[in-house]
Amino acid sequence: STTEMKELMNKIWASTEDIKKIGCIGKNKALEVKKEIREQMREDMMVFPRNLVGMNYVLKYFHIDERILKKNDEIGGLLHG
């Protein structure tokens, strides 16, 4: 639901589990995504915890726009189904 998605988006850091939920993907794909994001964060000279990545990078990776989520939430919409 959009409420669950907004709760995830409010986090600063994203775990593999968070990536799985946001992307509606399995563990192996989430680990690949996390690896790609970590590489991008390194290129951007970011400092980050060992097993986490920046939520803003995750949202950017999946092309998620917070404004759209807010609009869906206002009308009671669901994500991914």
| pLDDT at residue 81, rounded to an integer | 46
Tell me what the pLDDT averaged over the chain comes to.
Answer: 87
Whether 25 contacts 33, CB under 8 Å: yes
Angle at CA 36, nearest 5°, toward 62 and 29? 70
**In this model, does residue 33 exceed pLDDT 60?**
yes
- Check: CB of residue 3 under 8 Å from CB of residue 20: no
pTM of the full predicted structure?
0.81
pLDDT at 3 (0 to 100): 80
